[in-house]
Amino acid sequence: MQSRTLARELALLMLGQTNDRVAKGSAGPSAESLSASSLADLLHHALATLSHHVREALDRSADDLQTAQQELLDSELQEAAEAQIPRVRQHLQQGLVAAEQALNRLSASLELPRVLLLADQDEVRRGAIERARAVLLQREAIDARLDAVMEGWRLGRLPRIDRDILRLAAVDLSDFGTPAAVACNEAVELANRYSDEQGRRMINGVLRRFTSAPGKS
């Protein structure tokens, strides 16, 4: 995992600790809110959030496996009569779905302990803090630029996690010299981990229009 990728993920979690419903035209974040110590506190809370995310993912995986086991057991307890075959198939299908969900969650969470371990690297921490600061300083302008390519939708109507993923992609393009294809791909990867299929599609579409719009950088 590249330090830039990890820094972006930590910055996303840092932004989640802040309030993004700032009144339009306000002065924006104060100097105190963007001090080194305050941003370091945000990073600390972000790491705590990530640890909690790992525990929740493992707990949900355990629940899914238990459900799968129960469904498979129920299928075995059904009578062998032909009339029961649809019910047996239903239990088997539900058990397989639950098992697949468990495996998917385990697969997604396996990388997270490594994220926590690598987060102590100075380069990663600096990258996360710099990206979070860039978004906080420019959020109103970034939101306006993203709104301009939303096509009948508004950024404010998206889930918070999707808004922050888009904002981070925007500052990667404008402030950190990240190639457009890389910024889009890594934003989608963040959506795969923290959002859902609808969010992933929305983020992908918005960034494609954003990176092709005049003055994107």
- What is the domain-level CATH number for residue 98? 1.10.940.10
Give how many domains the chain has, as a whole number: 1
Rounded to two decimals, the pTM is 0.70
More confident residue, 21 or 184: 184
Domain of residue 133: give its range: 3-15+37-212
Please check whether residue 131 lies inside any domain of the structure: yes
Residue pair 138/171 in contact (Cβ under 8 Å)? The answer is yes
Task: Encode 127-185 in three state secondary structure.
Answer: HHHHHHHHHHHHHHHHHHHHHCCCCCCCHHHCCHHHHHHHHHHHHHHHHCCCCHHHHHH
d(CA 217, CA 183): 12
Q: Is residue 137 part of a domain?
A: yes
- What are the pLDDT digits (tens) for 79-128? 555 555 666 667 667 766 766 666 665 565 556 555 655 666 778 888 99
Whether residue 29 lies inside any domain: the answer is: no
* pLDDT above 80 for 12: yes
109 belongs to a structural domain: yes
Residue 132: CA count within 13 A, CB half-sphere: 30
pLDDT tens digits, residue range 153-183?
A: 899 999 999 999 999 999 999 999 999 999 9
Q: What is the pLDDT of residue 31?
A: 47
